[in-house]
A and B are shown apart, each in its own frame.
Chain A
Amino acid sequence: MTKPKVATTSLAGCFGCHMSILDIDDRILKLVELIDFHKSPVTDIKKFSDRCLVGLIEGGCCNEENVHVLQDFRKNCDVLISVGDCAIMGGIPAMRNGISLKECFQEAYQDGVTVYNPSGKIPSDRELPLLLDKVYPCSAVVKMDYHMPGCPPSADTIWETLVALLTNKPLDLPYELIKYD
């Protein structure tokens, strides 16, 4: 029997949630008995070539590429999980939502004290994805099936969640894993 596939991606996140995935340590050996990693920074597979059971999404959507990737994940995964606070509600990147986009550009490319940009232009290379007007949580773009809170969610939380999902058992996280202050 072929193993179910899991895909992961980091959108507008800091890769901290992916670090937390790796933080399951030697349990990763048990995990690869249960699943194959498909499209993911871990495997460096760039394109979906197979349907996946689970997609783990770190980060919200701050630019058009994030949206494109997230929509692609939705098309190719049965179950999508927001991993961490940025995916769930925008997180730290969403702190720019109270500031106009124009001001953000000015600060980053023109007026900031450490900016060196003699031309004074705002970069417009086609390789650079355009920023969205604000940072969106994943659930504002596609239907998300589950939300795993934390900044980042601990390795134990990620492990327990994946195992419960893959073995079709109810998830019962101890209080210590879901309290945050």
Chain B
Amino acid sequence: MNENLEAVIREICQKYANDSARMMDIVRDVQSSMGGVSKAAMKAIADAVGVAQVEVESVVTFYAFLSPESKGKVVIRLCNDFIDRMFGADRVAETFEKEFGIKFGETTADGLVTLEYTPCIGMCDQPPAALINDKVVTWLSTDMASRIAKAIKADGNIDKLNLPNGDGNNSHELVNSMVHNNLREKSDLIFADFEPGAGLKNAIAETPVEVIKNVKASRLRGRGGAGFPTGMKWEFTRGAEGDEKYVLCNADEGEPGTFKDRVILTEAPDLMFEGMTVAGYAIGAKTGVVYLRGEYQYLTAFLNDVLQKRRDAGLLGKNILGKSGFDFDIRIQMGAGAYICGEETALISSCEGLRGDPKNRPPFPAQKGYLGKPTSVNNVETFCAVAKIMEKGAPWFAQKGSQGSAGLKLFSVSGDCKKPGVYELPFGTTVKELLVKVGAEDAIAVQVGGACGITVAPSSFDEKICYDHLATGGSVMVFGPGRDLLELAHSFMEFFEEESCGYCTPCRVGNTLLKRRLEYVMAGKGSPEDLVYMETLGNTIRNTSRCGLGQTSANPVLTTLQNFRSLYEGKVKPSKDGQLASFDLNQAVGLSESIVGRKSIHHHD
């Protein structure tokens, strides 16, 4: 048995040339072939690639999709973010629990099924959704959940259910998924017709420096949300010293409520790969890596096929399009369920086979990134825009959008609206205009920018969505009458508490304290001072955290406190003579009373 385990692991490690930088691939393969990465497996991996066992362990225990314990043959990961719960995820969960006779977090005694919750899986436009191993199921009902459960109990999979495939490439034989694109409005940028090579051809007719000049002239800014000028980032990377350089594509879209990359990867992967190839040419890189979130595993076979076709067409590989000396190729790096890996330095750590810990800056990735070499990390949508800019020219792009925010942007709209899905609209669109398009004129609040974004009140619906006003990587969640916004803030705080990497104290401890105080207030135990405390603590977390996660994680509380203060004020009462209502003496002595066997002399009823 043990020898067998070592043999399997040796083979897996050899597949990745015993390279510790490919640790993610190695542990993912071990997980899927053995159901878990046991201590014995960790030791075998450590021996094979020549690192300490604890380094393997630190990776296995960091990512949600990896585990030291053996999971069931079928792992059902039900998305329990706020949107999915609005649309019945809790009832679906109950059905699964009843059918399998276990609670979430448990595995059936026969080792067949494990039930788990997972944060946003990028399907907020078709909730509730779940992953069944790599397969995505969407628009779940209790009825559907029980059919799925019965099929798994009978066959160990859901193949016999013959779930209908979604539209477009979701029906492609290599995708074969029931996911729908819900592409509601396209313009002439990302989902317009595109001939592979059309942008690249124009790019290589110019010098790399001219390409960067063009990207700068287009005024393109990063589509992930932070909005750093793309041309400038490339210029820094090109100018940095290093014999090797890298292009990394951030396809780890984990911001709750974002799913536009999913649709790009399904319908326009060529455009993304082309943009990466242009970047490789411009900065002088030979290797590109797409960091794809583990939740989108169902797209990898399809994406690898697209890559192969591009190699066959001379758009990747050696001497691309006949240009001597222009070599570039792309591989896909799978993630394993960690929100933090969308942060660019954490993404680099993960690509290097480490825990997804953010790195200190400076040095910035442009100077010292992947494997210590100059690296440009850009968003999926940014690369697509680049390819199109190369095809149509910088002025064509620059004249779109608003003053500080050129071009079009994809918005992922979900929640209480008639037409959830992806919309391609110019920057500068107001919240109100967007609400009319999606059929949600009665919204009481809109969350722009995901969990770390801003909760916008109706009085601000005339504000423009762009980098200078309401910035977003694409997530727009709509909440209609009757939704509890404190519950919303609380669910986001739960999310951040779970997803904090734990490296720095303000984020690791602060988010938990903030969530707890919010719970006091929601339970009606708070006083007005608690609101001041939450603001102070929130600002401390924002100002002292090490990376973007902690710098924005207090936003759900801070922006609802700012824009929906009356909701909080209705919950708090001034404390009587400075005594805190949140402290409950009866509860605090309860345990002692039962151990010692007498009542407290201070007991109040």
CA distance A75 to B575 in the complex (A): 12
Contact among B577, B589, B595 for A64, CB-based, below 8 A? B589
Chain A proximity of B479: nearest CB distance (Å): 33
User: If A71-B579, A141-B580, A143-B578 touch, does A64 touch B597 (CB 8 Å cutoff)?
Assistant: no
**CB–CB A130/B592 < 8 A:** yes
Residues of B567-605 contacting chain A, CB below 8 A: 575, 577-580, 582-583, 585, 587-593, 595-598, 600-602
Contact among B529, B578, B591, B601 for A74, CB-based, below 8 A? B578
CA distance A122 to B597 in the complex (A): 9
Which residues from chain A contact B580 at a C-beta distance below 8 Å?
Answer: 140-143
Which residues from chain A contact B597 at a C-beta distance below 8 Å?
Answer: 124
User: If A141-B580, A142-B580, A143-B580 touch, does A126 touch B588 (CB 8 Å cutoff)?
Assistant: no
Residue interface bits A54-85, CB-to-B below 8 A is 1, else 0: 00000000001101100100110000100000
User: If A133-B590, A133-B591 touch, does A142 touch B598 (CB 8 Å cutoff)?
Assistant: no
**CB–CB A131/B602 < 8 A:** no
User: If A67-B585, A136-B588 touch, does A101 touch B595 (CB 8 Å cutoff)?
Assistant: yes
**CB–CB A142/B590 < 8 A:** no
CA distance A11 to B590 in the complex (A): 20
**CB–CB B579/A130 < 8 A:** no
A contact patch SS: mixed
For residue A15, CB closer than 8 A to chain B, the reply is: no
For residue A164, CB closer than 8 A to chain B, the reply is: no
Q: Smallest CB-CB separation from A74: which chain B residue?
A: B578
Residue interface bits A104-144, CB-to-B below 8 A is 1, else 0: 01000000000000000011101000111110100011110
For residue A102, CB closer than 8 A to chain B, the reply is: yes
**CB–CB B595/A142 < 8 A:** no
Which residues from chain B contact A136 at a C-beta distance below 8 Å?
Answer: 583, 588
Q: Smallest CB-CB separation from B529: which chain A residue?
A: A143
Which residues from chain B contact A124 at a C-beta distance below 8 Å?
Answer: 596-598
User: If A126-B601, A130-B589 touch, does A140 touch B595 (CB 8 Å cutoff)?
Assistant: no
Chain A proximity of B505: nearest CB distance (Å): 13
Which residues from chain B contact A74 at a C-beta distance below 8 Å?
Answer: 577-579
Interface size class of B (residues with CB under 8 A): 20 to 34
Chain A proximity of B215: nearest CB distance (Å): 49
Tally of contact residues, A, Cβ under 8 A: 25
Which residues from chain B contact A64 at a C-beta distance below 8 Å?
Answer: 585, 588-589, 600-602
CA distance A153 to B585 in the complex (A): 29
Q: Smallest CB-CB separation from A105: which chain B residue?
A: B595
CA distance A67 to B583 in the complex (A): 10
CA distance A133 to B594 in the complex (A): 11
Residues of A147-176 contacting chain B, CB below 8 A: none
Contact among B577, B578, B600 for A130, CB-based, below 8 A? B600
Chain B proximity of A180: nearest CB distance (Å): 15
Q: Smallest CB-CB separation from B589: which chain A residue?
A: A130
CA distance A74 to B577 in the complex (A): 7
**CB–CB A143/B585 < 8 A:** no
Which residues from chain B contact A102 at a C-beta distance below 8 Å?
Answer: 591, 595
Chain A proximity of B534: nearest CB distance (Å): 14
User: If A64-B602, A80-B578, A130-B600 touch, does A140 touch B583 (CB 8 Å cutoff)?
Assistant: yes
Chain A proximity of B266: nearest CB distance (Å): 47
**CB–CB B588/A132 < 8 A:** yes
Which residues from chain A contact B593 at a C-beta distance below 8 Å?
Answer: 130
Q: Smallest CB-CB separation from B578: which chain A residue?
A: A143
CA distance A116 to B392 in the complex (A): 88
Which residues from chain B contact A132 at a C-beta distance below 8 Å?
Answer: 588-589, 592
Q: Smallest CB-CB separation from B597: which chain A residue?
A: A124
CA distance A64 to B589 in the complex (A): 7
CA distance A133 to B591 in the complex (A): 6
CA distance A131 to B594 in the complex (A): 11
**CB–CB A75/B592 < 8 A:** no
CA distance A133 to B592 in the complex (A): 7
Chain A proximity of B515: nearest CB distance (Å): 16
CA distance A53 to B582 in the complex (A): 26
User: If A130-B589, A130-B592, A132-B588 touch, does A143 touch B575 (CB 8 Å cutoff)?
Assistant: yes
Q: Smallest CB-CB separation from B587: which chain A residue?
A: A133
**CB–CB B592/A131 < 8 A:** yes
Name 12 extra pairs, CB < 8 A, besides A64-B600, A133-B587: A64-B589, A67-B585, A71-B579, A74-B578, A80-B578, A123-B596, A126-B598, A133-B589, A133-B591, A140-B580, A141-B580, A142-B580
27 contacts between A and B (CB under 8 A): A67-B585, A67-B588, A74-B578, A74-B579, A75-B577, A80-B578, A102-B591, A123-B596, A124-B597, A130-B589, A130-B592, A130-B593, A131-B589, A132-B589, A132-B592, A133-B587, A133-B589, A134-B588, A140-B583, A141-B579, A141-B580, A141-B583, A142-B580, A143-B529, A143-B578, A143-B579, A143-B580
Enumerate the 10 nearest inter-chain pairs by beta-carbon distance, A residue then B residue, closest first: A143-B578, A130-B592, A124-B596, A132-B588, A74-B578, A133-B591, A141-B583, A130-B589, A64-B602, A131-B592
